[in-house]
Amino acid sequence: MIKQQFFNRSAIKVAQDLLGCFLIRKIGGEIIKAKIVETEAYVGPHDLASHASRGRTARNTVMFGAPGMIYVYFTYGLHFMLNIVTGEIGYPAAVLIRAVEPAANSRLTIAELKKLFSGPARLTKALAIDKSFNNQPIFAKKHGLWLENKLTVIKPGRICRATRIGVDYAGKYKDKKWRFCLKDSKFISKP
Partner DNA sequence: TGAATGATCACG
Partner DNA sequence: GTGATCATTCAT
Q: How far apart are CA 86 and CA 65, in angstroms?
A: 9
Among 25, 51, 176, 179, binds DNA (CB under 7 A): 51
Could you tell me the smallest distance in angstroms from the CB atom of residue 151 to DNA? 26
Could you tell me the smallest distance in angstroms from the CB atom of residue 54 to DNA? 4
Please work out, in degrees rounded to the nearest 5, the angle formed at the alpha carbon of residue 6 by the alpha carbons of 159 and 188.
30
Among 148, 166, 171, 186, binds DNA (CB under 7 A): 166
User: Is the alpha carbon torsion for 109, 83, 22, 143 positive or negative?
Assistant: negative
| Nearest partner of 164 among 15, 40, 10, judged by Cα | 40
Is residue 165 at the binding interface for DNA, with CB under 7 A as the rule?
yes
Inter-residue contact 7 to 85 (CB < 8 Å)? yes
User: Is the alpha carbon torsion for 44, 73, 176, 53 positive or negative?
Assistant: negative
Complex with DNA: residue 157 or 175, whichever CB lies closer:
175
- One symbol per residue from 100 to 139: x for binding DNA (CB under 7 A), - otherwise; what is it? ---------------x---xxxx-----------------
Binding site for DNA (CB under 7 A): 40, 42, 49-52, 54-55, 57-60, 63, 71, 73-79, 81, 83, 94, 96, 115, 119-122, 164-167, 169, 189
